[in-house]
A = this chain, B = another copy of it.
Amino acid sequence: MPVLPVNGIRIGSTAAGIRYKGRDDLVVIECQSGTSCAAVFTRNRFSAAPVQIAKKHLGQVSPRALLINSGNANAGTGEQGLLNATECCQILADSLGCEVSEILPYSTGVIGEQLPVQAFKQALPSCLHNLGADADAWERASKTIMTTDTVPKLFSRKVDIAGCEVTITGMSKGAGMIRPNMATMLAYIATDAVIEQPVLQSLLNEATRVSFNRITVDGDTSTNDACTLLATGIAKMAAITENSKEYEQFSSVLTALMQDLAQAIIRDAEGATKFITINVSGGESEDDCLAVGYTVAESPLVKTALFASDPNWGRILAAVGRAPVSKLDISQVNIKLNALRIVTAGEPDTSYTEDAGQEAVSSNDITVDIELGGSDNRVTIWTSDLSHEYVRINAEYRT
Protein backbone atom coordinates (compact mmCIF):
# COMPACT_ATOMS: atom_id res chain seq x y z
CA MET A 1 0.00 0.00 0.00
CA PRO A 2 1.32 3.49 -0.84
CA VAL A 3 1.98 5.92 1.97
CA LEU A 4 -1.24 7.67 2.94
CA PRO A 5 -1.13 11.09 4.60
CA VAL A 6 -3.35 11.56 7.64
CA ASN A 7 -5.87 14.38 7.82
CA GLY A 8 -4.84 16.85 10.50
CA ILE A 9 -1.11 16.06 10.46
CA ARG A 10 1.53 18.28 8.81
CA ILE A 11 5.21 17.41 8.83
CA GLY A 12 8.37 19.42 8.13
CA SER A 13 11.97 18.23 7.93
CA THR A 14 15.27 20.09 7.58
CA ALA A 15 19.02 19.87 8.06
CA ALA A 16 20.12 21.44 11.35
CA GLY A 17 23.67 20.04 11.32
CA ILE A 18 23.24 18.55 14.80
CA ARG A 19 25.76 15.83 14.01
CA TYR A 20 25.38 14.64 10.44
CA LYS A 21 26.48 16.73 7.48
CA GLY A 22 24.49 17.03 4.29
CA ARG A 23 21.30 15.37 5.43
CA ASP A 24 18.10 16.21 7.30
CA ASP A 25 18.13 15.64 11.06
CA LEU A 26 15.21 17.70 12.42
CA VAL A 27 11.47 17.00 12.15
CA VAL A 28 8.38 18.83 13.34
CA ILE A 29 5.07 16.92 13.34
CA GLU A 30 2.27 19.44 13.76
CA CYS A 31 -1.13 18.15 14.93
CA GLN A 32 -4.61 19.56 14.37
CA SER A 33 -5.94 21.20 17.51
CA GLY A 34 -7.79 18.67 19.66
CA THR A 35 -5.69 15.70 18.52
CA SER A 36 -5.59 12.85 21.06
CA CYS A 37 -2.15 11.54 21.87
CA ALA A 38 -1.05 8.29 23.51
CA ALA A 39 2.56 7.33 24.07
CA VAL A 40 4.73 4.67 25.66
CA PHE A 41 8.33 5.25 26.69
CA THR A 42 11.44 3.27 27.58
CA ARG A 43 11.69 1.64 31.00
CA ASN A 44 15.44 2.20 31.03
CA ARG A 45 16.07 3.97 34.36
CA PHE A 46 18.53 6.30 32.68
CA SER A 47 15.77 7.64 30.45
CA ALA A 48 16.85 10.50 28.21
CA ALA A 49 16.02 14.15 28.89
CA PRO A 50 13.46 14.36 26.03
CA VAL A 51 11.71 11.24 27.38
CA GLN A 52 11.38 12.85 30.79
CA ILE A 53 10.13 16.11 29.32
CA ALA A 54 7.71 14.43 26.89
CA LYS A 55 6.23 12.35 29.72
CA LYS A 56 5.79 15.50 31.79
CA HIS A 57 4.17 17.47 28.96
CA LEU A 58 2.00 14.59 27.82
CA GLY A 59 -0.20 14.54 30.88
CA GLN A 60 -1.05 18.24 30.63
CA VAL A 61 -2.73 19.18 27.34
CA SER A 62 -3.21 17.65 23.93
CA PRO A 63 -0.03 18.28 21.94
CA ARG A 64 0.36 20.91 19.28
CA ALA A 65 3.60 19.49 17.84
CA LEU A 66 6.25 16.81 18.15
CA LEU A 67 9.90 17.95 17.83
CA ILE A 68 12.31 15.22 16.79
CA ASN A 69 16.04 15.19 16.10
CA SER A 70 18.52 12.50 15.08
CA GLY A 71 22.29 12.47 15.69
CA ASN A 72 22.16 13.26 19.40
CA ALA A 73 20.16 11.30 22.01
CA ASN A 74 20.32 13.94 24.76
CA ALA A 75 20.70 11.02 27.18
CA GLY A 76 23.13 10.86 30.08
CA THR A 77 23.25 14.63 29.94
CA GLY A 78 22.00 15.43 33.43
CA GLU A 79 20.33 18.68 34.45
CA GLN A 80 21.75 20.55 31.44
CA GLY A 81 20.11 18.02 29.13
CA LEU A 82 16.69 18.72 30.66
CA LEU A 83 17.23 22.48 30.31
CA ASN A 84 18.28 22.06 26.68
CA ALA A 85 15.28 19.89 25.79
CA THR A 86 12.94 22.37 27.42
CA GLU A 87 14.57 25.32 25.66
CA CYS A 88 14.17 23.65 22.26
CA CYS A 89 10.49 23.07 23.05
CA GLN A 90 10.14 26.71 24.08
CA ILE A 91 11.64 27.96 20.82
CA LEU A 92 9.15 25.89 18.82
CA ALA A 93 6.26 26.91 21.11
CA ASP A 94 7.13 30.57 20.53
CA SER A 95 7.06 30.07 16.76
CA LEU A 96 3.72 28.25 16.88
CA GLY A 97 2.21 30.57 19.48
CA CYS A 98 1.45 27.83 21.98
CA GLU A 99 2.51 26.72 25.47
CA VAL A 100 5.80 24.86 25.95
CA SER A 101 3.81 21.95 27.41
CA GLU A 102 2.11 21.52 24.03
CA ILE A 103 5.43 20.42 22.51
CA LEU A 104 6.72 16.84 22.90
CA PRO A 105 10.49 16.43 22.31
CA TYR A 106 12.26 13.28 21.05
CA SER A 107 15.94 12.66 20.36
CA THR A 108 17.98 9.76 18.95
CA GLY A 109 21.69 9.34 18.37
CA VAL A 110 24.85 9.41 20.43
CA ILE A 111 24.44 9.23 24.22
CA GLY A 112 26.32 11.56 26.54
CA GLU A 113 26.71 14.74 24.50
CA GLN A 114 24.81 17.97 25.09
CA LEU A 115 22.25 19.05 22.50
CA PRO A 116 23.35 22.03 20.37
CA VAL A 117 20.38 24.30 21.11
CA GLN A 118 21.67 26.98 18.75
CA ALA A 119 21.45 24.58 15.80
CA PHE A 120 17.77 23.96 16.65
CA LYS A 121 17.09 27.66 16.86
CA GLN A 122 18.64 28.38 13.47
CA ALA A 123 16.99 25.46 11.69
CA LEU A 124 13.44 25.67 13.04
CA PRO A 125 12.16 28.40 10.68
CA SER A 126 13.14 26.33 7.64
CA CYS A 127 11.57 23.23 9.22
CA LEU A 128 8.26 25.07 9.74
CA HIS A 129 8.46 26.52 6.27
CA ASN A 130 8.59 22.95 4.93
CA LEU A 131 5.44 21.79 6.74
CA GLY A 132 3.39 19.67 4.39
CA ALA A 133 0.38 17.36 4.69
CA ASP A 134 1.21 14.97 1.83
CA ALA A 135 2.89 11.59 1.55
CA ASP A 136 6.18 13.25 0.60
CA ALA A 137 6.31 14.99 3.98
CA TRP A 138 5.94 11.60 5.73
CA GLU A 139 8.59 10.02 3.49
CA ARG A 140 11.11 12.78 4.08
CA ALA A 141 10.54 12.65 7.86
CA SER A 142 10.94 8.87 7.96
CA LYS A 143 14.43 9.34 6.48
CA THR A 144 15.28 12.27 8.73
CA ILE A 145 14.86 10.25 11.94
CA MET A 146 17.29 7.49 10.80
CA THR A 147 20.65 6.92 12.54
CA THR A 148 22.35 3.60 11.71
CA ASP A 149 19.20 2.57 9.81
CA THR A 150 19.79 1.82 6.15
CA VAL A 151 16.15 2.09 5.04
CA PRO A 152 13.22 4.19 6.26
CA LYS A 153 10.30 2.35 7.87
CA LEU A 154 6.91 3.80 6.89
CA PHE A 155 3.60 1.98 6.45
CA SER A 156 -0.07 2.81 5.96
CA ARG A 157 -3.31 0.93 6.45
CA LYS A 158 -6.96 1.73 5.92
CA VAL A 159 -9.74 0.38 8.10
CA ASP A 160 -13.49 0.69 7.79
CA ILE A 161 -15.03 1.70 11.10
CA ALA A 162 -18.84 1.63 11.02
CA GLY A 163 -18.91 2.75 7.40
CA CYS A 164 -16.21 5.39 7.73
CA GLU A 165 -12.84 4.67 6.14
CA VAL A 166 -10.01 5.83 8.42
CA THR A 167 -6.29 5.88 7.79
CA ILE A 168 -3.43 4.78 10.03
CA THR A 169 0.09 5.72 8.96
CA GLY A 170 3.21 5.16 11.03
CA MET A 171 6.98 5.46 10.84
CA SER A 172 9.74 4.06 13.03
CA LYS A 173 13.51 4.06 13.20
CA GLY A 174 16.04 1.86 14.92
CA ALA A 175 18.63 -0.75 14.01
CA GLY A 176 20.75 -1.20 17.13
CA MET A 177 20.36 -0.84 20.90
CA ILE A 178 17.07 -2.60 20.24
CA ARG A 179 15.30 -4.50 22.98
CA PRO A 180 12.38 -2.21 23.57
CA ASN A 181 10.79 -2.51 26.95
CA MET A 182 7.61 -0.49 26.60
CA ALA A 183 8.15 0.89 23.10
CA THR A 184 10.95 1.38 20.70
CA MET A 185 12.96 4.35 19.74
CA LEU A 186 11.00 6.84 17.73
CA ALA A 187 7.88 5.40 16.29
CA TYR A 188 5.15 7.83 15.23
CA ILE A 189 1.74 6.65 14.17
CA ALA A 190 -1.17 8.87 13.25
CA THR A 191 -4.78 8.28 12.41
CA ASP A 192 -7.70 10.48 11.54
CA ALA A 193 -10.03 8.28 13.57
CA VAL A 194 -11.96 9.77 16.47
CA ILE A 195 -10.53 8.24 19.65
CA GLU A 196 -10.37 9.82 23.09
CA GLN A 197 -7.04 9.72 24.89
CA PRO A 198 -7.68 6.90 27.43
CA VAL A 199 -9.00 4.61 24.69
CA LEU A 200 -6.10 5.55 22.43
CA GLN A 201 -3.66 4.71 25.22
CA SER A 202 -5.11 1.23 25.74
CA LEU A 203 -5.06 0.60 21.99
CA LEU A 204 -1.40 1.61 21.93
CA ASN A 205 -0.47 -0.43 25.02
CA GLU A 206 -2.03 -3.59 23.64
CA ALA A 207 -0.45 -3.24 20.21
CA THR A 208 2.97 -2.34 21.67
CA ARG A 209 2.99 -5.50 23.79
CA VAL A 210 2.94 -7.75 20.71
CA SER A 211 4.92 -5.56 18.29
CA PHE A 212 7.75 -3.31 19.50
CA ASN A 213 7.99 -5.17 22.80
CA ARG A 214 8.63 -8.42 20.92
CA ILE A 215 11.76 -7.48 19.01
CA THR A 216 15.40 -7.60 20.01
CA VAL A 217 18.64 -6.99 18.15
CA ASP A 218 21.17 -6.98 20.96
CA GLY A 219 19.19 -6.98 24.19
CA ASP A 220 20.23 -3.37 24.78
CA THR A 221 17.17 -1.36 25.80
CA SER A 222 17.66 2.20 24.61
CA THR A 223 17.45 5.23 26.87
CA ASN A 224 15.31 7.03 24.29
CA ASP A 225 12.62 4.57 23.21
CA ALA A 226 9.32 6.26 22.59
CA CYS A 227 6.30 5.32 20.53
CA THR A 228 3.62 7.93 19.98
CA LEU A 229 0.14 7.48 18.52
CA LEU A 230 -1.84 10.53 17.37
CA ALA A 231 -5.56 10.55 16.57
CA THR A 232 -6.61 13.79 14.87
CA GLY A 233 -10.31 12.95 15.02
CA ILE A 234 -11.07 14.51 11.63
CA ALA A 235 -12.88 11.45 10.26
CA LYS A 236 -16.67 11.76 10.34
CA MET A 237 -17.46 9.00 12.78
CA ALA A 238 -18.53 8.35 16.34
CA ALA A 239 -15.65 8.05 18.80
CA ILE A 240 -14.29 4.53 19.22
CA THR A 241 -15.00 3.24 22.72
CA GLU A 242 -13.47 0.37 24.64
CA ASN A 243 -15.02 -3.12 24.43
CA SER A 244 -16.74 -2.30 21.13
CA LYS A 245 -16.62 -4.04 17.78
CA GLU A 246 -14.97 -0.93 16.34
CA TYR A 247 -12.27 -1.08 19.01
CA GLU A 248 -11.42 -4.66 17.99
CA GLN A 249 -11.37 -3.70 14.29
CA PHE A 250 -9.11 -0.72 14.84
CA SER A 251 -6.92 -2.62 17.29
CA SER A 252 -6.29 -5.45 14.89
CA VAL A 253 -5.25 -3.11 12.05
CA LEU A 254 -3.14 -0.95 14.39
CA THR A 255 -1.40 -4.07 15.72
CA ALA A 256 -0.67 -5.31 12.19
CA LEU A 257 0.77 -1.92 11.23
CA MET A 258 2.91 -1.75 14.37
CA GLN A 259 4.16 -5.29 13.76
CA ASP A 260 5.15 -4.19 10.24
CA LEU A 261 7.08 -1.26 11.73
CA ALA A 262 8.71 -3.44 14.40
CA GLN A 263 9.66 -6.17 11.92
CA ALA A 264 11.08 -3.54 9.57
CA ILE A 265 13.47 -2.57 12.36
CA ILE A 266 14.65 -6.19 12.66
CA ARG A 267 15.04 -6.54 8.86
CA ASP A 268 17.23 -3.42 9.00
CA ALA A 269 19.04 -4.45 12.22
CA GLU A 270 22.69 -3.50 12.35
CA GLY A 271 24.61 -5.94 10.19
CA ALA A 272 21.65 -8.32 9.92
CA THR A 273 21.66 -10.95 7.17
CA LYS A 274 18.80 -13.05 8.59
CA PHE A 275 15.29 -12.34 9.84
CA ILE A 276 14.58 -14.76 12.66
CA THR A 277 11.13 -15.51 14.07
CA ILE A 278 11.08 -17.36 17.38
CA ASN A 279 7.81 -18.96 18.45
CA VAL A 280 7.71 -20.32 21.98
CA SER A 281 4.70 -22.20 23.26
CA GLY A 282 3.55 -24.37 26.11
CA GLY A 283 5.55 -22.77 28.95
CA GLU A 284 4.28 -22.54 32.53
CA SER A 285 3.46 -18.89 31.90
CA GLU A 286 3.74 -16.33 29.13
CA ASP A 287 6.73 -14.92 31.02
CA ASP A 288 8.46 -18.30 30.87
CA CYS A 289 7.83 -18.45 27.11
CA LEU A 290 9.29 -14.95 26.77
CA ALA A 291 12.31 -15.82 28.93
CA VAL A 292 13.12 -18.80 26.70
CA GLY A 293 12.49 -16.81 23.52
CA TYR A 294 14.72 -13.89 24.51
CA THR A 295 17.48 -16.18 25.81
CA VAL A 296 17.62 -17.87 22.40
CA ALA A 297 17.16 -14.59 20.51
CA GLU A 298 20.00 -12.87 22.35
CA SER A 299 22.47 -15.75 22.53
CA PRO A 300 25.62 -14.61 20.67
CA LEU A 301 26.33 -18.24 19.85
CA VAL A 302 22.91 -18.87 18.30
CA LYS A 303 23.15 -15.57 16.39
CA THR A 304 26.62 -16.26 14.98
CA ALA A 305 25.62 -19.80 13.96
CA LEU A 306 22.58 -18.49 12.08
CA PHE A 307 24.76 -15.80 10.47
CA ALA A 308 26.94 -18.65 9.19
CA SER A 309 23.85 -20.60 8.01
CA ASP A 310 25.08 -23.35 10.30
CA PRO A 311 22.31 -25.60 11.71
CA ASN A 312 24.21 -25.77 15.00
CA TRP A 313 21.06 -26.58 16.93
CA GLY A 314 23.05 -27.60 20.00
CA ARG A 315 23.43 -23.90 20.70
CA ILE A 316 19.65 -23.41 20.60
CA LEU A 317 19.23 -26.32 22.98
CA ALA A 318 21.91 -24.93 25.32
CA ALA A 319 20.21 -21.52 25.30
CA VAL A 320 16.81 -23.09 26.11
CA GLY A 321 18.49 -24.99 28.92
CA ARG A 322 19.95 -21.88 30.56
CA ALA A 323 16.84 -19.69 30.26
CA PRO A 324 15.69 -18.27 33.60
CA VAL A 325 12.37 -20.10 33.92
CA SER A 326 10.72 -21.52 36.99
CA LYS A 327 10.23 -24.99 35.57
CA LEU A 328 11.42 -26.84 32.49
CA ASP A 329 10.82 -30.52 31.78
CA ILE A 330 13.31 -31.20 29.01
CA SER A 331 11.56 -34.44 28.07
CA GLN A 332 8.69 -32.29 26.79
CA VAL A 333 10.81 -29.96 24.67
CA ASN A 334 10.38 -29.99 20.89
CA ILE A 335 12.41 -27.71 18.62
CA LYS A 336 11.94 -27.10 14.91
CA LEU A 337 14.06 -25.07 12.49
CA ASN A 338 12.00 -23.85 9.55
CA ALA A 339 9.55 -26.70 10.24
CA LEU A 340 12.32 -29.31 10.33
CA ARG A 341 12.17 -31.34 13.56
CA ILE A 342 15.53 -31.18 15.31
CA VAL A 343 14.67 -32.01 18.91
CA THR A 344 11.69 -34.16 19.86
CA ALA A 345 10.83 -34.88 23.49
CA GLY A 346 14.18 -33.45 24.58
CA GLU A 347 16.27 -35.72 22.34
CA PRO A 348 17.68 -35.34 18.83
CA ASP A 349 14.91 -36.19 16.40
CA THR A 350 15.68 -39.52 14.78
CA SER A 351 14.74 -38.23 11.33
CA TYR A 352 17.18 -35.29 11.50
CA THR A 353 20.01 -35.17 9.00
CA GLU A 354 22.74 -32.58 8.69
CA ASP A 355 21.80 -32.00 5.03
CA ALA A 356 18.20 -31.24 5.96
CA GLY A 357 19.43 -28.92 8.74
CA GLN A 358 21.72 -27.14 6.30
CA GLU A 359 18.84 -26.56 3.94
CA ALA A 360 16.57 -25.30 6.71
CA VAL A 361 18.96 -22.51 7.73
CA SER A 362 20.10 -21.54 4.23
CA SER A 363 17.08 -19.26 3.84
CA ASN A 364 17.21 -15.60 4.89
CA ASP A 365 14.02 -15.99 6.88
CA ILE A 366 14.34 -18.54 9.65
CA THR A 367 11.62 -19.65 12.03
CA VAL A 368 12.54 -21.39 15.26
CA ASP A 369 9.62 -23.19 16.95
CA ILE A 370 10.17 -24.15 20.55
CA GLU A 371 7.51 -26.16 22.40
CA LEU A 372 8.04 -26.38 26.12
CA GLY A 373 4.95 -28.31 27.13
CA GLY A 374 1.22 -28.51 26.86
CA SER A 375 -0.04 -25.13 28.07
CA ASP A 376 -1.81 -22.62 25.83
CA ASN A 377 0.81 -19.90 26.39
CA ARG A 378 2.37 -18.76 23.16
CA VAL A 379 4.63 -15.85 22.19
CA THR A 380 6.47 -14.70 19.07
CA ILE A 381 9.73 -12.73 19.11
CA TRP A 382 11.61 -11.34 16.11
CA THR A 383 15.37 -10.97 16.03
CA SER A 384 18.41 -10.75 13.76
CA ASP A 385 21.73 -12.58 13.46
CA LEU A 386 25.14 -11.40 14.71
CA SER A 387 27.51 -10.62 11.87
CA HIS A 388 30.91 -9.07 11.29
CA GLU A 389 29.02 -6.00 10.14
CA TYR A 390 27.30 -5.61 13.54
CA VAL A 391 30.70 -5.48 15.21
CA ARG A 392 32.07 -3.08 12.61
CA ILE A 393 29.11 -0.71 12.89
CA ASN A 394 29.23 -0.62 16.67
CA ALA A 395 32.98 -0.44 16.95
CA GLU A 396 33.02 2.52 14.55
CA TYR A 397 29.78 4.26 15.57
CA ARG A 398 31.33 7.37 17.08
CA THR A 399 34.52 7.56 15.03
Chain A interface residues (CB < 8 Å from chain B): 43-47, 73, 75-79, 110-112, 176-177, 179, 181, 218-223, 298-301, 304-305, 307-308, 310, 312-315, 317-322, 328, 330, 343, 346-348, 386-388, 390-392, 394-399
Contacts and interface: CB of A to CB of B under 8 A. Distances in A.
15 contacts: A46-B318, A47-B321, A75-B314, A76-B348, A77-B347, A78-B346, A78-B348, A110-B312, A111-B318, A177-B301, A177-B318, A221-B321, A300-B300, A307-B391, A391-B391
Contacts of A181: 322
- Scoring A218, A220, A305 by chain B CB atoms within 10 A of each residue's CB, the highest score goes to A220
B391 A318 contact: no
A21 B181 CA distance: 48
B75 A45 contact: no
Contact of A45 (B298, B330, B347): B330
B347 A79 contact: yes
Give chain A's interface secondary structure class.
loop
A76 B388 contact: no
A318 B395 contact: no
B398 A310 contact: yes
Contacts of A394: 300-301, 304-305, 308
A395 B314 contact: no
Given A77-B348, A111-B315, A112-B314, A221 B322 contact: yes
A83 to B, nearest CB: 12
A222 B318 contact: yes
Given A314-B112, A347-B79, A300 B388 contact: no
A300 B112 contact: no
B395 A223 contact: no
A307 B393 CA distance: 12
- Scoring A299, A301, A307 by chain B CB atoms within 10 A of each residue's CB, the highest score goes to A301
Contacts of A322: 43-45, 179, 181, 220-221
B321 A46 contact: yes
B223 A317 contact: yes
B388 A392 contact: yes
Which 6 A/B pairs are nearest by Cβ-Cβ distance? A111-B314, A78-B347, A46-B321, A308-B395, A304-B394, A112-B314
Contacts of A179: 322
A264 B135 CA distance: 58
B177 A220 contact: no
A313 B111 CA distance: 8
B348 A318 contact: no
B388 A223 contact: no
A220 B313 contact: no
Contact of A318 (B75, B301, B388, B398): B75
Contacts of A328: 45
Given A299-B218, A304-B391, A305-B395, A112 B317 contact: yes
Contact of A399 (B46, B221, B310): B310
A391 to B, nearest CB: 5
Contacts of A307: 391, 395
